[in-house]
Structure 1
Amino acid sequence: MELKTRTYETTFVLKPDLEDEEKEQILTRVKNTILDHDGEITEVDAWGKRQLAYEIKDYRSGDYTILEMNAKTSVVKELERIFKIMDGVIRYLVVKKES
């Protein structure tokens, strides 16, 4: 059975004290994960540092990035796996966009 390609939006929040090079490495890893699994990135929107609604892991602010992609569900599972193990990510969310 072939998995259907769907449109997803992922938002991830990085630690605000990361160096620009570390942020770029995380973004590159996320992009490569999507592309290596036959996904397509349609938009990347870096919001930068924003105040969090509540404290997360002793942080009051975070560096937000929103990424839209067309991918299969296997890509989403892999993205969630790497978000969990990356030290610089304090929160993430992947949602399916309505067509």
Structure 2
Amino acid sequence: MTDQKSGLKTRTYEATILVKAAAARADYDGVLAAVRQTYETEGASFIELEKWEERQLAYPIAGETSALYFNAYFSAEPTAIDKIERRAQLGETILRQLIVARPGKELELIKAQRAKQAEAAAAAAANPPVPEY
């Protein structure tokens, strides 16, 4: 894909994002908006932004002992990644993030795998095992 404004080729990325758990409990919508703004301000476009779960951290980060995890797939120009990382460091919501490039075909495989998992979960829920007595 090519960005119409700049003419640069956009790439697909995956990010794992840790946000302050206390802030997310107090204002989840505000935290989600702040995460989106951090990325979208630099021209990123979310394909998927999924909330995972809150977890205890192995060590404190900025005084926080727990974090809410998000997993995201987004497209952006390669030049935007450094800007996104810098914006996240300067912001108060995101504790840590890891961004890795994901080729488009791999993303399609991930989506297909998730669809199969969802189908299997739905089938299991529709046909619960019968207990043996």
Q: How does the TM-score come out when normalised to structure 2?
A: 0.61
Gaps of 5+ in 1: none
SS at match of 2:65: strand
SS at match of 1:12: strand
Residue equivalent to 1:23: 31
Q: CA deviation at 1:48?
A: 3.2
Residue 33 of structure 1 contacts residue 78 of structure 1 at CA under 8 Å; is this kept in 2? no
Aligned-partner residue type, residue 40 of structure 2 = N
Q: CA deviation at 1:51?
A: 1.8
Q: Distance in 1 between matches of 2:76 and 2:30?
A: 25
SS at match of 1:17: helix
Residue equivalent to 2:93: 88
Residue equivalent to 2:10: 5
Taking the TM superposition and a 5 Å limit, the aligned residue runs for 1:31-46 are 31-33=39-41, 37=43, 39-46=44-51
SS at match of 1:24: helix
SS at match of 1:87: coil
Over 3 Å counting, the alpha-carbon distance change for 1:28 and 1:40 in structure 2 is closer
Aligned residues: 96
Residue-by-residue CA offset, 1:29-51 (whole Å, 9 max, x unaligned): 135325xx2x4321111113112
Gaps of 5+ in 2: 1-6, 107-133
Q: CA deviation at 1:12?
A: 1.4
* 1:68 to 2:73 alignment: yes
Q: How does the TM-score come out when normalised to structure 1?
A: 0.78
Larger Rg: 2
Higher strand share: 1
Residue 40 of structure 1 contacts residue 70 of structure 1 at CA under 8 Å; is this kept in 2? yes
Over 3 Å counting, the alpha-carbon distance change for 1:28 and 1:70 in structure 2 is closer
Choose between structure 1 and 2 for higher RCO, CA contacts under 8 A separated by at least 6 residues.
Answer: 1
Higher helix share: 2
Q: Name segments (4+ residues, structure 1) moved above 4 Å.
A: none
Residue 33 of structure 1 contacts residue 75 of structure 1 at CA under 8 Å; is this kept in 2? no
